[in-house]
Amino acid sequence: MKAVLLKAFGGVEHLDYVEDFPMPEIREDEVLIKVKATALNHLDIWVRKGALAIKPELPHILGSDVSGVVERVGNLVRNVKEGDEVIVSPGLSCGVCYECLSGRDNLCRYYDILGLKTKGGYAEYVKVPARNVIPKPKNLSFEESASYPLTFLTVWNALVRKGQIKPYSKVLIWAGSSGVGVAGIQIAKLMGAFVVATAGSEEKARRCKDLGADLVINHYQEDVPKRVREVFKEGVDVVMDHVGEQTFSKSIECLKKGGKLVFFGTTTGSNANIDIRYLFVREIELIGTYMGPSADLLKISELFERGLLKPVVDKVFHLSQAREAHEYLEASKHFGKVILKI
């Protein structure tokens, strides 16, 4: 089958497009999917660089977000059949431990993400456990359907479950143009919150507003905490940070007393410098999140099908252009998701 193989950790030159990689073989409880589209995530870049504590065996196949058509199902599979149009829930877990059975599968000790240690969607075919396969929203194209699982699941967990945003919450979303940014703006808006987003250009700011942001701050030209405090004297209730080193302390400065910082990514580095006194005196909550319970993806898909959430696809590359797609994502030129079409 066609696939993009990661043969060594490092630059994009280690991504090799081949046409003769062996097809995956499914077990009785697994599903083989003919991949139609797969989305890029920053996770792909970290895995490619070997920058995470967890490293896959090489050669590896990246790709956490998959949409496609069911090609074959194992004997025990009941929930889908050949020919069904589906998406994949990217969180892989054991399914039988206390956390899994309690609906907190993202805390399973065996938790993995498709494309992290397990071979993912940069290929003609991918195999996944049947419980990870869910129907594709009928109103979305394959490219649009591949654009949301990982980011929207992550953001839903961060803002709705952990951040507990309410209609009267004021929420700050860093880098509103990113994959998680476009999810953050829409989910916070859907929950009725006042949404402040940051963006790096006028054009990106305009598009953040189109998605529902009430206020957009240029994070290159303005002092974000200062601007936030000009608008809300006390600060905001919740900040969603996925940028890391460059924004983490600023995020804390933006929060009002008792505010929550929900965070899950470190695009700019992982070291933060925090004055601990500032945190306890103001009763600031630091809440790390990692993906989210798979069940939420069913509800998120419903919201897409009802048109309450909208996919934001920036650019579609062909699978054979994975190197160019990685360079494009790393250059931060995108607004929304970068997709590979197979």
Nearer to Zn ion, 112 or 253 (CB): 112
Among the residue ranges 38-46, 89-97, 223-231, 285-293, the one whose residues contact Zn ion (CB under 5 A): 89-97
Q: Which of residues 186-225 bind Zn ion (CB under 5 A)?
A: none
Q: How far is the CB of 99 from Zn ion (least distance, A)?
A: 5
**Sole binder of Zn ion in the list 97, 107, 279, 286 (CB under 5 A):** 97
Long-range contacts of 128-131 (CB under 8 A, 24+ apart): 128/30, 128/31, 128/33, 128/66, 128/88, 128/92, 129/29, 129/30, 129/31, 129/92, 129/95, 130/29, 130/30, 130/31, 130/73, 130/74, 130/76, 130/77, 130/78, 130/79, 130/80, 131/79, 131/95, 131/294
Contacts of 205 (CB under 8 A, 6+ apart): 199, 216, 218
Among the residue ranges 88-96, 150-158, 211-219, 259-267, the one whose residues contact Zn ion (CB under 5 A): 88-96
Cα 17–chain centre separation: 24
**Sole binder of Zn ion in the list 35, 92, 100, 160 (CB under 5 A):** 100
Question: What gap in Å lies between CA 114 and CA 124, rounded to an integer?
Answer: 15
Beta partners for 70? 33
Does the protein bind Zn ion through residue 155 (CB under 5 A)? no
**Sole binder of Zn ion in the list 93, 147, 294, 301 (CB under 5 A):** 93
Does the protein bind Zn ion through residue 261 (CB under 5 A)? no
Nearer to Zn ion, 94 or 286 (CB): 94
Contact characters 103-132, Zn ion, x per CB under 5 A: -----x------------------------
Residue 48: φ, ψ to 5°: -60, -40
Half-sphere CA count of 123, side-chain side, radius 13 A: 26
Q: How far is the CB of 300 from Zn ion (least distance, A)?
A: 21
Nearer to Zn ion, 130 or 312 (CB): 130
Nearer to Zn ion, 110 or 278 (CB): 110
Per CB under 5 A, residues contacting Zn ion are 93-94, 97, 100, 108
